[in-house]
Structure 1
Amino acid sequence: MRFIGLILLLLSVKSFGIDATLEIIKNTNKIPYIVVERLDSENTDFGTKVLKMLAADLKVSGHFQVYDGGVNKNSEVAYKDYADKKIDLLAQIKVSKSANNLTGTISLYDINTSKRIYVKDYTENDVKRFPFIAHRMCIDINSYIQAPSIQWMQRLVVLSQYTSSGNSEILIADYTLTYQKVVVKGGLNIFPKWADSKQESIYYTKYLDVPTILKHNLTTGHIEQLVGSEGIAIVSDVSKNGENLILSLSPTALSDLYLYNTKSKNLRKLTNYSGIDVDGKFVNNEKEIIFVSDRLGYPNIFMMRVDGGGTEQVVLHGRNNSAVTSNGKYAVYTSRETNNEFGANTFNLYLISLAPGSNYIRRLTASGKNQMPKYSNDGGTIMYLKYYKAQSALGIIRIDYNTNYFFPLTKMKIQAFDW
């Protein structure tokens, strides 16, 4: 089953760079040790699934030492037994199912004070959404120890996957891709992008007479047609207030970047280069953009002002930097490390600072083909695709903790995604 495969967390490796110091503000400077258990009397199937998912979430957070305690048949908490094992927290869960509804209940205990901290219910009206019960439980446990926020765990990923020749569909999923739901199908539907911070609507490209950007409200089903272009038409980035879009369009032979205002419908050209400019992202309080261009004869990363001009090369490392993501102050880009004409090449991810005059650079991956980096909305986590030998996986990098986690991809060919 998929959830068993994902919980394996195929790899958990240290990244290269400066080690971050983890501080949990709870009158202690150590990472708390938590045991997660399932009470014996409740729904066994979904209880086990939520237990495994919660244990994995806690590990991915980077804020806990986690032990999967399995099934607990005792009705009373033996505080002394847990304390003797140097355990700080105990999370006991139970899951009940009614029709297609699922309710998870967690009881959190602080072993050091011999107290139950809280009991809380989490309900989903679709049993397939059981991962979100675990994600929300993890977020609340994390809040109790006052660790840095992990709200990103409950955000949806939107992705497009190829289904057959000339056909692809768009899905929404949780960050582990355990929960998946098709929202657009029929024809070629590619390059999905969240249209708003509430994740109510998406942009995507569909081939009509020409590649055309559509906006799809996932709640109402309303579809709005925006801009078409002969070659490519892609929403590369969305401003924080959702009013301005950076579009990659090629009304002629090669692509340029455009600024599109969703209220006025005004379209303004940002770049005017004879080659290829794509993948623009807002940076520095949306006063500038960072983008990919071949103006050096190969893909590299550049930056320019939104009001025009001031174009400068940002990356001086590598000779094939074909994708970039940014949280506004830092950027992560792909870099080809090898030049194998007939075999597989290695592509690694690098983190750089966008501060003026900074030469800070840090490698985030070490092997394989690492592509499509995307920042979380809080700017602290990177999601990307990793291909290594015959395997592929969705990768999560917790930047401040120098840790990578991988969730295997089976029978899924992802074309693009947004988080």
Structure 2
Amino acid sequence: MSSTPFDPIDPLGLDDLLEPEDLAVRDAVRAWARDRVLPHVAEWYERGELPVIRELAKELGALGALGMPLEGYGCAGASAVQYGLACLELEAADSGIRSLVSVQGSLAMYAIHRFGTEEQKQRWLPSMAAGELIGCFGLTEPDVGSDPAAMRTHARRDGDDWVLSGRKMWITNGSVAGVAVVWARTEDGVAGFVVPTDSPGFSAPEIRHKWSLRASVTSELVMDDVRLPADALLPGARGLRAPLSCLNHARYGIVWGAMGAARASFEAALEYARTREQFGRPIGGFQLTQAKLADMALELHKGLLLAHHLGRRMDAGRLRPEQVSFGKLNNVREAIEICRTARTVLGANGISLEYPVMRHATNLESVLTYEGTVEMHQLVLGKALTGLDAFR
């Protein structure tokens, strides 16, 4: 048996799984989030806004966090594990910050990088990687969430141009984006378009009155006969497989990110249990509190192990979409339970923004349903396990 001291924050010694380069990425993102987000995020959350989003985007670009796993065009070319560690640290600060990075890199930039022409990549990606240009991703519609095949947004040919009309809903970064990747029906099926947001007929009103992801910009996209040149079309994107592959890339980041929110809540509960006294001693000395802490630690570190495993598979080119569903379903669900349990350890203080727990819990209610609801991921796994399609 090892004589290495037991670390309550890393009880399984998971840092042993990481290379020095991985640790450097993690520590750099953690330090940035500690200095630039944590001192202000409770205020942003309470106000329901992210007033410095443009400044943060540029700082994240300088950090190499935007489009991290992509190669070239100013992107870092990081490993999947390194990208996952960045998502972990960003969401440990707030889900809204991780969503900013995820939508920018894993959705908008990824779509252009994978499906765009060389001219489109050269035009858009370097400024997006630097955080000078913010992007968004328009797939979900007001009446269409889990069934994107039923989208109503459409694009029709008019000479050499395209004319785009429709609405998208719950779009992160929408009202601050300079470019939107929008998915629409055409006579040849679903296609993707790169849309400058200053195009006539395009607007992005911000969605207010949210009780989750409050430190995040969420918008509607409205396209009223937006005229686009022929080269706005993403030529490599044909059919629903294209946007769904983008979502799969973003879901991978959520597998890690959810554990960041869970870790922050667990650490807050652990520190509170050590210092809060009732009946003459710290509440961490009572059996029921220790049982809660033990159960939280178990689920947190099982989720981290799962994230590491999926990251290694992605780096090896062996990660399947069903495995991402496995990770998203498990880790978000368990993260919410960890937050709820942590809230009970903190008692009434658990609902205060002086502590991160309730903020993480409410944020995760959005993470639970976006980019695939619980039911959708259950059905993905059910089909993989049985070979039978229960979607329709």
TM-score bracket relative to the smaller structure: under 0.3
TM-score, normalised relative to structure 1: 0.25
Q: Name the larger-Rg structure.
A: 1
Higher RCO structure (Cα 8 Å, ≥6 apart): 2
Select the structure that is richer in helix: 2
Scaled by the length of structure 2, what TM-score is found? 0.27
